[in-house]
Amino acid sequence: MFKNLMVYRIGQDWQSTVAQIEESLQKAAFVECGATQAQSLGWAPPRGEANGALIEDIGGQWLLQLKLEQRVLPGSVVKRRADEMALQIEQETGRKPGKKQTKDLREHATLELLPMAFTKQSNIKVWIAPQQQLLMVDASSASRAEEVVTLLIKSLDGLSLNLIQTAETPAACMAAWLTDGEPPEGFSVDRECELKSVDEMKSVVRYARHALDIEEVRQHLSSGKAPTRLAMSWRDRVSFMLTDTLQIKKIAFLDLVFEGRESPEKDAAFDADAALATGELSKLIPQLLESLGGEHDFANPSAAALPAQPASTEAAPWD
């Protein structure tokens, strides 16, 4: 369901309903690229069904999906066509095109070639946890997440979002966990990490499928390298990669999560997967923030951190 998450705090003043969000998203629904359009993005049904709802409410968790379509037009192809046009002009006029005319030729070549270019599509999941006032974007890069957030803010009146920051930096906490060998309660350190020096050399050391509780790792840390990525697990239920920018990457649900779970029917698979993913991650995320010193409140630095949710004793939605 989710592979990577960036976590945002929803502004306290924003209130909305599923029906209101559906109506707003319809105004920015996905439309395929036009003949000379390089890119198109808009909201699409999370279930992947044609003409389906643009927001799904699964046990009080709201799921959206942004669809992106891009025309694949390599720069080398554009340059070759622009060079052909420039050569034709030179043969006809006896002079080479100047810088401005060359730029215009490349733009003209792009418009000429776009209708013939193949398109590729990708989807970005968005998860809103209204009770926790959190919004998560399943994006592999900060720039892509910001693109989603920008369109969301335009689509939903009154919505404000702030990328969550913690009282202690992830890099400092990860360094302490590796040095002391004592990760926070409920978490364990796995066998992958990346260490990077903060000097001008930007030296990088990577460990993969390797024990990290060794003297060599501690020496790298004491010499000034800082963790930028650290593989971790939470209660033997979810594995993930934590980054120094507080991205949660490579999310995977472990076998313990699936114990006693029956395989859902095809039509119910989306609901079951969504309930499982949001159910586990809605407990993991607050505990992870707490282990990083709590959420930093810029308006009130002394405010208490977001409390971690206790483990639920209720039956899973698919039981």
Q: How confident is the model over 165-189, as pLDDT tens digits?
A: 999 999 999 999 999 999 999 999 9
Structure tokens at 44: 């699409």
- Of 136, 163, 190, which residue is a domain's last? 163
Amino acid at 162: N
Residue at 296 is within a domain: no
Do 53 and 154 reside in the same domain of the chain? yes
Structure tokens at 34: 């036009």
Q: Containing domain of residue 198, as a range?
A: 170-291
Do 15 and 54 reside in the same domain of the chain? yes
Residue at 317 is within a domain: no
Residue at 300 is within a domain: no
DSSP label at residue 267 = G
What pLDDT digit, counting tens, does each position of 29-86 carry?
Answer: 999 999 889 999 999 999 999 899 999 999 999 999 999 999 999 999 999 999 999 9
Residue at 89 is within a domain: yes
For the stretch 95-115, what's the b/e string if a residue is b when 16 or more beta carbons lie within 10 angstroms of its beta carbon? eebeeeeeeebbeebbeebbe
Residue at 63 is within a domain: yes
Do 39 and 147 reside in the same domain of the chain? yes
How far is it, in rounded angstroms, from Cα 290 to Cα 104? Answer: 54
38 by Cβ neighbours in 10 Å (0-12 / 13-18 / 19+) ranks as middle
Do 19 and 155 reside in the same domain of the chain? yes
Residue at 34 is within a domain: yes
Tally Cβ neighbours within 10 Å of residue 29.
Answer: 13
Supply the pLDDT for residue 73: 92
Do 176 and 270 reside in the same domain of the chain? yes
Do 234 and 175 reside in the same domain of the chain? yes
DSSP label at residue 70 = E
Do 174 and 237 reside in the same domain of the chain? yes
How many residues are there in the chain?
319
SS3 of 135, please?
A: strand
Indicate yes or no: pTM above 0.75. Answer: yes
Do 142 and 26 reside in the same domain of the chain? yes
Do 11 and 135 reside in the same domain of the chain? yes
Say how many domains are in the chain.
Answer: 3
Do 126 and 39 reside in the same domain of the chain? yes
Supply the pLDDT for residue 300: 56
Residue at 319 is within a domain: no
Do 175 and 279 reside in the same domain of the chain? yes
Using 70 as the pLDDT threshold, list the residues of the chain that sit under it.
260, 266-267, 298-319
Do 144 and 105 reside in the same domain of the chain? no
Assign 3-class secondary structure to 191-244.
EEEEEEECCCCCCEEEEECCCCCCHHHHHHHHCCEEEEEEEEEECCCEEEEEEC
Structure tokens at 170: 């992830």
- Of 48, 83, 115, which residue is a domain's last? 115
Supply the pLDDT for residue 200: 80
Supply the pLDDT for residue 296: 84
How far is it, in rounded angstroms, from Cα 43 to Cα 21? Answer: 11
Residue at 305 is within a domain: no
Which uninterrupted H or E stretch holds 79?
Answer: helix 75-93
